[in-house]
Structure 1
Amino acid sequence: MEITTVSGPSFFIRTIYLSLVNPDDIVDGAEFLDEKEEELVDAGLCFAVEQKALDYLNRSEQYRMGLTAKLIAKGFAKSNINRALDYLESKKYLDDRRFAGVWLRNRAITHAEGRSKLSMELAARGINKAYITEALDEFFEEISEEEICMRAFKKCVKTKKDEDKITQYLLKNGFSIKLIQKVKEDYGFEK
């Protein structure tokens, strides 16, 4: 809905951002004062945040915490950001669960990391633990963690790391000791 002020400038709002103003009362010539005027301006700011967030979402998948930081850096108020992002989540334009899946697939292209490291990376981005678990389970159904560990192991062997350094490297990259031992055995390293 377009709102035009007495002094001339106009802005857009989405009625979902209104609570005091009845959308049916917004007609040509209507005047809003005090709290209602403030609410209309606030709804306009929420809509502006929503549009900027959509710009980011059109470029690539985003996660709520990261998108919030980007919008704060653009000078938007946290309260407007939260309301706009709540709306975008309700419409499924913003989805941390979907982001987690996309992020894992992209990350696997250049990094060989295990479940615990990937989980920590997603948690650091503010992704809900249940979403992390779901995304990791789905990811490791498609790609074997053992294959990823073997890829990292072979990279270490290629760079002539000794066995202890290989183990430290693989542990640091989120692979379990049990998986590391299995990969070593499959490769032909002695226990």
Structure 2
Amino acid sequence: MEDRTAQPSVITRLERQKKNKNRVNVYIDEVYAFSLHEDVLVKYRLLKGRQIDPDEMEEILKMEERNRAEQYALRYIGHRPRTVEEVKQHLLQKGFPAEAITEVIHGCIEHNYLDDERFASQWVEERLRLKPRGRHMLRHELRSKGIDAAVIEHAISGVHADTEYGAALSAARKKYSRVSFSAYADLRNKIGPFLQRKGFSLDVINRVIEKLNDEPNHELNEEPDTHENPHS
């Protein structure tokens, strides 16, 4: 018995979609078969009357899937910088096969659209400048984005102790700019936990507390003397 599935098929119509001009509906033997991005159509020189055998059709559909994954990846990256792991997870959630995802990510890295080292360095720099975080929090944030541990440590190693201190001091001043503390303990008990939640080390936190305690506007140069005569 003749195996009809192995016979080549013929493209009988190509129809550009009305809502998406970059996509073309392909009809084979007068029946709608699939739609392709115009880039794939051009790559395989698909014209009306052209014959396609089953093996080539499978290759074309794989390329179409890869092209779709690439478009999703580029749109995702276009909103803001992303890590390799973020793009991978985004494409997995969209249902793309692992092979297509691997190819797309490799292409994005080759074209410099993805660079985890650059991402980590920029993340640390911008966090310290705009949303101050300590080293502990920076590590946690970068780990959550799938950055390799060695890359994280390299990015954080560039943070000088005085830079981290300056970021912590800036965060504390911004948070408590309109607060008047009644005592040293009050200042310590509010600012300490606040900076700890932002991932700053105990050494940095203590430096900030001492600095703010010494500033005249807080009037906290000394803790009150509980033995002082209230009537003197």
Letter in 2 for 1:164: N
Match of 1:180 in 2: 205
User: How do 1:42-57 and structure 2 match up within 5 A?
Assistant: 42-57=62-77
CA displacement 1:125-163 (0-9 Å, x = unmatched): 11111221222234x25x811100111232454345631
2-structure distance, mates of 1:145, 1:119: 14
What are structure 1's unaligned runs of at least 5 residues?
Answer: 14-22
Higher helix proportion (structure 1 or 2): 1
Higher relative contact order (CA 8 A, sep 6+): 1
User: How do 1:119-130 and structure 2 match up within 5 A?
Assistant: 119-130=139-150
Matching of residue 165 in structure 1 with residue 190 in structure 2: yes
User: How do 1:144-163 and structure 2 match up within 5 A?
Assistant: 144-158=163-177, 159=179, 160=181, 162-163=187-188
User: Bigger CA drift: 173-182 or 75-84?
Assistant: 75-84
Match of 1:99 in 2: 119
What are structure 2's unaligned runs of at least 5 residues?
Answer: 1-8, 15-25, 27-35, 215-220, 224-232
Structure 1 contact 113–148 (Cα < 8 Å) conserved: yes
Letter in 2 for 1:152: A
Supply the RMSD in Å over aligned alpha carbons: 3.2
Letter in 2 for 1:33: P
CA displacement 1:4-47 (0-9 Å, x = unmatched): x843435445xxxxxxxxx9xx788674434x542332122112
Structure 1 contact 184–190 (Cα < 8 Å) conserved: no
The TM-score, its normalising length taken from structure 1, stands at 0.72
2-structure distance, mates of 1:165, 1:52: 45
User: How do 1:51-90 and structure 2 match up within 5 A?
Assistant: 51-90=71-110
Change beyond 3 A, Cα 1:6–1:63: farther
What is the deviation of 1:184?
2.4
2-structure distance, mates of 1:181, 1:49: 50
2-structure distance, mates of 1:106, 1:32: 53
2-structure distance, mates of 1:108, 1:157: 18
The total of aligned residue pairs comes to 174
